[in-house]
Amino acid sequence: MDIGFIGLGNMGRPMARRLIEAGHSLVVYDTRNDATAPLVALGARLASSPQDVADRVETVMASLPEPHVVTKVAAGEGGVIHGKRVKRFIDLSTTGSRVATEIAAMLAKKNIVQIDAPVSGGVAGAEKGTLAVMVSGPSAEVALVKDALAVFGKVFVIGEKPGMGQTMKLANNVLSACNMAASCEAVVLAAKSGIDPKVAVDVMNAGSGRNSATSDKWPREMLPRTFNWGFATALMTKDVRLALAEMKDLDVPHDIMDAVGRAWETCIAEIGPDKDFTTIIQPVEKRGGITVKGGVT
């Protein structure tokens, strides 16, 4: 299948590579030459703009960091909407349902179908092809691209309404954000009382407290203090903000997520937007007066 791929960052680059390895023909674009070069070396063709990508292929995928960037790439000057060949725009980013609906309406005026396909599973999942891909869009169009999306991992068809895939992604990510924030306070509690943090995490993973933070992030990045999961604090905070906005729009209770949101806002303010999101432990450590490692310090 001829596919355009826009956005070759931490997530986009391994996903694009997997498409090439699966036998798909790619036209790629990114604002950074160092991002496109490895894909071109694997056989991808280089485009000069999002519009140039959409001039060459019928199916364009995008993996981008922020909703306003997705809007610009999809419908702005020099964007996908102005392409001569494009028939469908697959958004692998996390934008929220409001932006997805707006982009879908703009593209529809040019007879271009938007398919939401946000992904979850981190850089490791993108590398291994084990992501969860949450797809919404017209069933006939989804059927045409489902095999290509399956290169990234397990495809879940959420529905046909624009934005449904985005809402599912936000529901997933805000729960992940909650696990991260809550586990930090729980492990600091254990450490401050004199329990070895590694033992505490092992017990949690053998008991009812087990979650994606304790089973993955703590052993790999937080206990060894490498803080290199590959997902920035700014991106997680953005997802939490988007989820809270949708909760309010839909009149859904959000008392717990308000507290989670404050934890992430504190992290981004104190540690910085570009730091890895596993650094959320550091403001909790500061307030608790203890540094959490494999042993109490």
Q: For 186-217, what is each residue's pLDDT tens digit?
A: 999 999 999 999 999 999 999 999 999 999 99
For 163-184, write each residue's pLDDT tens digit: 999 999 999 999 999 999 999 9
Residues 147 and 199 in one domain: no
The domain in which residue 66 lies consists of: 2-160
Split at pLDDT 50, 70, 90, the class of 280 is: very high
What is the secondary structure of 62-98 as a DSSP string?
E--SSHHHHHHHHHSTTSGGG-SS--EEEE-S---HH
- Residues annotated as catalytic are 169
CATH number at residue 154: 3.40.50.720
The answer to whether position 96 is within a domain reads yes
Q: Report how far residue 36's alpha carbon sits from residue 146's, in angstroms, rounded to the nearest whole number.
A: 25
Of 139, 160, 181, the residue that ends a domain is 160
Of 144, 160, 176, the residue that ends a domain is 160
Residues 190 and 103 in one domain: no
The pLDDT score that the predictor gives to residue 296 is: 47
Rounded to whole angstroms, what are the CA distances from 203 to 75, 104, 190, 197, 231? 50, 47, 11, 10, 26
Residues 148 and 22 in one domain: yes
Of 160, 189, 218, the residue that ends a domain is 160
The pLDDT score that the predictor gives to residue 134 is: 98
The pLDDT score that the predictor gives to residue 293 is: 82
Rounded to whole angstroms, what are the CA distances from 22 to 17, 45, 88? 9, 16, 20
Q: Report how far residue 81's alpha carbon sits from residue 88's, in angstroms, rounded to the nearest whole number.
A: 10
Residues 260 and 188 in one domain: yes
Residues 9 and 140 in one domain: yes
The pLDDT score that the predictor gives to residue 297 is: 42
pLDDT of 295 above 60: no
For 50-81, write each residue's pLDDT tens digit: 999 999 999 999 999 999 999 999 999 999 99
The answer to whether position 297 is within a domain reads no
Residues 156 and 197 in one domain: no
Residues 7 and 139 in one domain: yes
Mean pLDDT of the chain: 96
Distance from chain centroid for Cα 74: 18
CATH number at residue 197: 1.10.1040.10
Q: Structural domain tally of the chain?
A: 2
Distance from chain centroid for Cα 273: 15
Measured from the Cβ of residue 230, the count of other Cβ atoms closer than 10 Å reads: 16
Residues 231 and 122 in one domain: no
